[in-house]
Amino acid sequence: MKKVLLILASAIALSISSCAVPDADFVHDDATIHAIYLCTTMKDATGKELSVSFPGVINQDTGEISFLVTKDKRRQIDLMAVKLRANLAYDAYIKVTREAGQDVDRTLYGIHDISAGMDLTVTAKMTGRTKDYHLTAQYEK
């Protein structure tokens, strides 16, 4: 019985002393877009949304994001009505700040007009750090 109590007391002491204080290494400060996709809003004959998407090219140094819609997909992508999907870091969010020449304050959710470009701001919630991006799209000539 003494051995069991000794082992139990040791295990409890060990588990209490192993609780670590949160470290600065775990601060979520990444306010970057890791990947972004332009998706169609067009539907097929049955009403199902077409699964056409293009990855954007991101320049992290300048904050420029560009899309080039290929000739064969031109009819399926209307730059005045697209959906955008972005991969962000953990605990970050994205806001659209300028769209179709107008200042706006909305999320990336929904249908967007990117024919005149779009400005985005990504914010790391934990620290408030932000990064701005400018998105452009064009059809391949």
Q: Return the residue matching tokens 């979520």.
A: 28
The whole-number pLDDT of residue 39 equals 86
Q: Return the residue matching tokens 């994205």.
A: 94
> Domains, the chain, ranges and CATH?
23-139 (2.60.40.2340)
The whole-number pLDDT of residue 51 equals 80
Confidence band of 14 (pLDDT split at 50, 70, 90): low
Surface-to-core class of residue 71, CB atoms within 10 Å of its CB (0-12 exposed, 13-18 middle, 19+ buried):
exposed
Q: How far is CA 137 from its chain centroid?
A: 18
As a whole number of angstroms, the distance between CA 6 and CA 1 comes to: 9
105-133 mean pLDDT: 93
The whole-number pLDDT of residue 44 equals 77
Average pLDDT taken over every residue of the chain: 84
The whole-number pLDDT of residue 27 equals 72
pTM of the full structure: 0.76
Helix H, strand E, coil C: the string for the chain is CHHHHHHHHHHHHHHHHCCCCCCHHHCCCCCCEEEEEEECCCECCCCCECCCEEECEEECCCCEEEEEECHHHCCCCCCCCEEEEEEECCCEEEEEEEECCEEEEECCCCCECCCCCEEEEEEECCCCCEEEEEEEEEECC
The whole-number pLDDT of residue 62 equals 96
Closest C-alpha among 55, 78, 71, 30 to residue 135: 55
21: pLDDT strictly greater than 70: no
22: pLDDT strictly greater than 60: no
The whole-number pLDDT of residue 34 equals 94
Q: Using one digit for the tens of pLDDT, what is the confidence trace for 23-46?
A: 556 678 899 999 999 988 777 778
Q: Using one digit for the tens of pLDDT, what is the confidence trace for 48-90?
A: 877 878 899 999 999 999 999 888 888 888 899 899 999 998 8
The whole-number pLDDT of residue 1 equals 63
